[in-house]
A = this chain, B = another copy of it.
Amino acid sequence: MLKYVLLGFLNYRSLTGYELKQAINRSTIHFWHAELSQIYVTLKALENEGCVTSKIQPQAERPDRRVYTITRSGRAALAQWLAQPITELGTKKELLLLKLFFSAQLDKDVLLAQLRVQRDLHQQRYHLIQNEMATEIQQSAEEYPQLVKDAVLWEATRRLGELHEEAYLHWLDETIALVQKKL
């Protein structure tokens, strides 16, 4: 899938691997991520498939950059993938739930500490989604008026992140209280 993430961003404009990583971190990070090393590998694969082309851009006082550009064939591949229906639900892997599931014999205070750390982390992410990410999207929409439709959808993905974090925080409070009472 990383292929399509990269094609998606390159469809807006030409970018380097490094910039693609930044684009991901600013926008899709809460539902799709990738390591830089994997991005470079995948870009090379996309080039072999003819979905992108690359040119070295020499820079003074900075390392040279390899700028990737989407091809017609790359746009076609992206469009084809977008139109393809998803027929199954995605499978999640939630480490916290896994540990919690088997934690009945674990020391109660260790478990509570675990849950409180998670509460902090999720609170932080919640604020990030509500503030930094929301303004980021608004700014893009104002800066590039041709992307209003895109911005509507970006906002929708942000909104699910917000709702999920709200649910998660609510659940953590519920669960901390539950563990205190019943364990």
CB distance B160 to A171 under 8 Å? yes
CB distance B159 to A174 under 8 Å? yes
Give A152 to B179 CA distance when docked, in angstroms: 8
In chain A between 110 and 139, which residues have their CB closer than 8 angstroms to a CB of chain B? Answer: 110, 113-114, 117-118, 121-122, 125
Instruction: State how many angstroms separate the Cβ of A166 from the closest Cβ of chain B.
Output: 7
CB distance A104 to B1 under 8 Å? no
Interface residues in A, total, Cβ within 8 A:
70
Give A101 to B150 CA distance when docked, in angstroms: 7
CB distance A101 to B178 under 8 Å? no
CB distance B153 to A103 under 8 Å? yes
Instruction: State how many angstroms separate the Cβ of A24 from the closest Cβ of chain B.
Output: 11
Name the contact of A86 in the complex, choosing from B31, B117, B147, B174 (C-beta under 8 A).
B117
A4 beta carbon closer than 8 Å to chain B? yes
Interface string of A82-107 (1 = CB under 8 A from B): 11011111111111111111111111
Instruction: State how many angstroms separate the Cβ of A12 from the closest Cβ of chain B.
Output: 9
Interface string of A58-83 (1 = CB under 8 A from B): 00000000000000000000110111
CB distance B89 to A102 under 8 Å? no
Residues on A close to B: CB < 8 A? 1, 4-5, 8, 11, 27-28, 30-33, 78-79, 81-83, 85-107, 110, 113-114, 117-118, 121-122, 125, 147, 149-150, 152-154, 156-157, 159-160, 163-164, 166-168, 170-171, 174-175, 178-179, 182-183
